[in-house]
């Protein structure tokens, strides 16, 4: 028997002013685009802003549907738009922010499992780590890559016993 310990690094900042300029811009963009969310069911408005390696910033918000699976999260809304319009550009970082129905920023924010999987695919596709910036009410947490959010993940290698070029 073997036990494997998996560690992740999370850097916590107390306020926006501590961030580097690009990260700060992404957080502000995520907060702004959260206002465009269509969230009549959850009343939880989420915004995501990512920056590509060409410097382009792409934003998305959650778009809900009465038939729940037909909706999409803010992260995938931004990611898929970026991948469709800039198919050769790697995502360098993504900031995520949200406000609840009282208008307060979410107490603690983290991408859902499906978005983690989608972001991981992008990270593998371009072989570039995607920095994750989580804008919660009392702090901002940054992770260095998507792998940190999804250890022991399923990926392209899982389909072919590691014998592929993903
Ligand atoms: Zn999601």
On whether residue 37 sits in a domain, the answer given is yes
pLDDT, position 157: 82
Residues of the domain holding 96 = 10-149
Q: Are strands 131-135 and 91-99 parallel, antiparallel or unpaired?
A: parallel
Identify residues whose C-beta is under 5 A from ligand 1, the ion: 73, 112, 115
Positions of E strands within the chain: 10-13, 45-52, 57-61, 91-99, 131-135, 140-143
On whether residue 139 sits in a domain, the answer given is yes
Mean pLDDT computed over every residue of the chain: 95
41/120 Cα distance (integer angstroms): 28
Q: How far is the CA of 112 from the centre of ligand 1 (A)?
A: 4
On whether residue 154 sits in a domain, the answer given is no
Please work out, in degrees rounded to the nearest 5, the angle formed at the alpha carbon of residue 73 by the alpha carbons of 7 and 117.
40
On whether residue 94 sits in a domain, the answer given is yes
CATH number of domain containing 110: 3.40.140.10
Q: How many domains does the chain have?
A: 1
104/98 Cα distance (integer angstroms): 8
pLDDT confidence of 165, banded at 50, 70, 90?
A: low
pLDDT, position 63: 98
On whether residue 3 sits in a domain, the answer given is no
75 is catalytic: yes
On whether residue 118 sits in a domain, the answer given is yes
Q: What pLDDT digit, counting tens, does each position of 22-76 carry?
A: 999 999 999 999 999 999 999 999 999 999 999 999 999 999 999 999 999 999 9
On whether residue 161 sits in a domain, the answer given is no
Please work out, in degrees rounded to the nearest 5, the angle formed at the alpha carbon of residue 91 by the alpha carbons of 57 and 31.
45
Q: How far is the CA of 121 from the centre of ligand 1 (A)?
A: 14
pLDDT confidence of 166, banded at 50, 70, 90?
A: very low
pLDDT, position 40: 97
On whether residue 157 sits in a domain, the answer given is no
| Alpha carbon of residue 65 to chain centroid | 21
Q: How far is the CA of 111 from the centre of ligand 1 (A)?
A: 5
């Amino acid at each position: 028997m073997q036990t494997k310990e998996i560690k992740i690094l999370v850097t916590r900042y107390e306020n926006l002013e501590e961030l580097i300029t690009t990260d700060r811009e992404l957080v502000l963009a995520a907060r702004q685009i959260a206002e465009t969310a269509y969230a009549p069911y959850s009343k939880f408005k989420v915004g995501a802003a990512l920056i590509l390696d060409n410097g382009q910033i792409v934003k998305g918000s959650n778009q809900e549907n009465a038939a729940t699976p037909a909706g999409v999260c803010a992260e995938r809304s931004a990611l898929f738009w970026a991948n469709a319009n800039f198919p050769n550009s790697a995502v360098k970082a993504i900031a995520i922010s949200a406000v609840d129905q009282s208008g307060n920023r979410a107490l603690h924010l983290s991408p859902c499992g499906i978005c983690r999987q989608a972001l991981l695919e992008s990270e593998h596709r371009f072989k570039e780590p995607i920095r994750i910036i989580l804008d919660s009410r009392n702090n901002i947490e940054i992770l260095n890559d998507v792998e940190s959010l999804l250890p022991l993940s399923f990926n392209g290698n899982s389909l072919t016993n590691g014998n592929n070029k993903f």
